[in-house]
Amino acid sequence: MLPEGLGRLFACGGMSDGPFPEQYEPTETPLASNPLHPKVTYNPTARVLKDDRARMGEQKDFPYVATTYSITELFRHWTKHSRLNAIAQPEQFVEIGEKLAGRLNIAAGDKVKVSSKRGYIEAKAVVTKRLRTLNVMGHDLDQIGIPCHWGFEGATRKGFLANTLSPAVGDANTQTPEFKAFLVNVEKA
């Protein structure tokens, strides 16, 4: 949306990519290539440093897609220092779909280890019906959810930094980090 209240079909300059909106896969993708144009899988203008590029995992080692997000009880890493917020959501957890949890023999409340090419976290498992196994290009694909509020000291129980897992990729224009889609492995801790 632009100041005059309308959007535009073309990017009018000042953008690293464009002029048309484009579909790219995340830098760490479970797919072999971009279904729309196999030669360019992820955004070539995204900001990735050389050493960070070397720390990208592959699906054979890290078969699940992870997404980090916030939950209503906590705000960033601020409110975990407040007792009442800590009471409402005291301990780090990850959300795992019922099917995947069944396959990995993980029950609700079990401690699990989630690892990516860049490190690992340990957290309690919330097993949910809300995350369902997806079918992407003929293959089953499981996604797990990683709330991002723990780590360091606080009024909550100690936890791990979710961003240990995520890749250091900045959006081509905004430098917004690519924390919404990357590859991990999950196992019972």
Partner 1 sequence: MAMQSQDIIRRSATNGLTPAPQARDHQQEVAKLIDVSICTGCKGCQVACSEWNDLRDEVGHNVGVYDNPADLTAETWTVIRFDEVEDESGRLEWLLRKEGCMHCEEPGCLKACPSPGAIVQFANGIVDFQSDQCIGCGYCIAGCPFDVPRINKKDNKAYKCTLCADRVSVGQEPACVKTCPTGAISFGSKADMKDLAATRVAELKSRGHEGAGLYDPQGVGGTHVMYVLTHADKPEMYHRLPKDPHISRLCAAGKNG
Q: Mask 50-89, x = binds partner 1 (CB under 8 A)?
A: ----------------------xx---------xxxxxxx
If one asks whether residue 127 binds partner 1 (CB under 8 A), the answer comes out as: yes
Nearer to partner 1, 48 or 125 (CB): 125
How many angstroms separate the CA atoms of 94 and 68, rounded?
9
- For 72: left if phi > 0, alpha if psi spans -120 to 50, otherwise beta; the answer is alpha
Please report, for the chain, how many H helices and E strands are present, in that order: 3, 8
Nearer to partner 1, 107 or 136 (CB): 107
- Residues with Cβ within 8 Å of residue 155, at least 6 apart in sequence: 80, 81, 82, 83, 85, 86
- Residues with Cβ within 8 Å of residue 85, at least 6 apart in sequence: 73, 74, 75, 79, 155, 156
Shortest CB 2 distance to partner 1, Å: 31
Hunting for tokens 């209503």 — which residue is that?
Answer: 72
If one asks whether residue 155 binds partner 1 (CB under 8 A), the answer comes out as: yes
If one asks whether residue 24 binds partner 1 (CB under 8 A), the answer comes out as: no
User: Which one of residues 129, 135, 138, 174 is an interface residue with partner 1 (CB under 8 A)?
Assistant: 129
If one asks whether residue 113 binds partner 1 (CB under 8 A), the answer comes out as: no
Nearer to partner 1, 47 or 113 (CB): 113
Q: By the 8 A CB rule, do 148 and 78 touch? A: no
Nearer to partner 1, 48 or 121 (CB): 121
Least Cα distance to 117 among 61, 162, 169 occurs for: 61
If one asks whether residue 128 binds partner 1 (CB under 8 A), the answer comes out as: yes
User: Which one of residues 109, 136, 176, 187 is an interface residue with partner 1 (CB under 8 A)?
Assistant: 109
User: Which one of residues 17, 124, 164, 168 is an interface residue with partner 1 (CB under 8 A)?
Assistant: 124
Residues that bind partner 1 (CB under 8 A): 72-73, 83-93, 107-110, 124-130, 155-157
